[in-house]
């Protein structure tokens, strides 16, 4: 089975800007940012933070 990807975001410029802001927010501006060990970016450029044990996840929504 093969996959053909035409585009992952309709508005790439806006999506890239929000993705960067979401990453910076998770890394620096939350009070519990030090608890986040891993940053997971999925196929559609969604961002999730994770602790070492992957028992707690942070979404990029404030």
28 phi-psi bin (left φ>0, alpha ψ -120 to 50, beta other)? alpha
Nearest CA-CA partner of 30 in 55, 53, 62: 62
How far is Cα 37 from Cα 52, in angstroms, rounded to an integer? Answer: 6
pLDDT for 46 equals 78
Q: For the segment 1-58, what is each residue's pLDDT rounded down to a tens digit?
A: 676 766 655 656 666 778 778 888 888 988 899 999 998 887 666 788 999 999 999 8
Which pTM was predicted? Answer: 0.63
How far is Cα 49 from Cα 33, in angstroms, rounded to an integer? Answer: 9
CB 23 within 8 A of CB 29: no
How far is Cα 13 from Cα 49, in angstroms, rounded to an integer? Answer: 23
């Amino acid at each position: 089975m093969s996959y053909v990807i035409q585009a992952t975001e309709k508005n790439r410029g806006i999506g890239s800007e929000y993705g960067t802001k979401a990453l910076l927010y998770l890394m620096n501006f939350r009070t519990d940012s030090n608890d986040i060990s891993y940053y997971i970016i999925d196929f559609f450029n969604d961002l999730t933070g994770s602790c070492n044990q992957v028992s707690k996840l942070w979404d990029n929504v404030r």
